[in-house]
Structure 1
């Protein structure tokens, strides 16, 4: 729980009593690799805070091709935000890439948390604002950068992920096919 409290402390300062309130409204679970925590078409009832392992969110198009939206490694949150906030069926899958330990915060308990610890509303607002900024920048990058530039930016921004993820997932995240990605990496190695 220390990792969660440290994550919260980056944005808001909680008293010991407030920390206890937060901890009383969460649950922890362990998952095997390749466990699907959320399926497309289901309502996202929890947000997930990663303690150990890597999670990813993705969608699958009509041709069966996966499109990776996000990764979450230790200290990061992940959810299908559309579904979580609206409580309507979502479009994303959330899956563990490897064995994972995750904190779950239900939508219901998050609402209770806002009432019991008003600072947590500020905390989640900051997270959502940061996520909005990151998603906007990623969209701009996808429209204006070359695949090589997107990969370079990904590698610099998330160096801890580059060697932990399957190449096809990185390719999907930067918006290229695995075949193109392989050829691109070969070209980059020659430079």
Structure 2
């Protein structure tokens, strides 16, 4: 279960992982399995873990006063998921995170000294800084796209960047992630099929 996490860290850092580093990572991270629709985090709870997805898929979303779900993030293998504000500030989360498929995770808790010790591993710290930078840039691009691009362009960008999302998640989640209605997404998909034909 740890092989994919170790490989992920090694591929994203120039610092080597020592045997001691790998041993510490294997001690620190807690394996967890979620059934489809089982929660990792529910609104109102304090997020206690940063989670690495070994296998499966998750969604992070809010539910408005009318009961509509608004998807903030869709995540698959070799992605991280958590509510970072809740995790770092120890405040109740406004998000839900649940498994969209049978999902295997590795959880890094904040409640013991492992979090600090793992973050002091040079390769892990280097990977985390790159990850933070990439997430910040992705969030900026997504915000820019939502303000400036049409639904058609946002869908094309999603197809280009994350084609696997279209295979793994149903239309209503894709539509919510793009900030459009299911009907708009259906129209865009039909137009895309006609263009290809």
TM category (shorter chain) comes to over 0.9
For 2:17 and 2:184, the matched residues in 1 are separated by: 48
Which residue number in structure 2 is paired with residue 80 of structure 1?
83
Match of 1:171 among 153, 161, 175: 175
> What is the match of residue 58 of structure 1?
61
Alignment correspondent of 2:94: 91
Tell me if 1:106 matches 2:109. yes
Per-residue displacement from partner, 1:148-184 (whole Å, max 9, x unpaired)? 1101111111111211111000000111011221222
Q: Specify the alignment match of 1:161 in structure 2.
A: 165
Measured against aligned partners, the alpha-carbon deviations of 1:82-125 in whole angstroms (never above 9, x if no partner) come to: 1112111111110100111111111233223224x244233222
SS at match of 1:19: helix
CA distance in 1, matches of 2:61, 2:117: 29
Q: Flag structure 1 segments of 5+ consecutive residues without an equivalent.
A: none
Task: Give the number of equivalent residue pairs.
Answer: 190
Per-residue deviation, 1:39: 0.7
Aligned to 1:19: 22
Would you say the 8 A contact 2:51–2:108 is kept in 1? yes
Q: Unaligned regions of 5+ residues in structure 2, if any?
A: none
Helix, strand or coil at the partner of 2:66: coil
In 1, Cα distance between equivalents of 2:123 and 2:53? 21
Runs of 4+ in 1 over 3 A off after TM superposition: none
- Is contact 2:44-2:93 (8 Å) kept? yes
Matches within 5 A, 1:133-144: 133-144=137-148
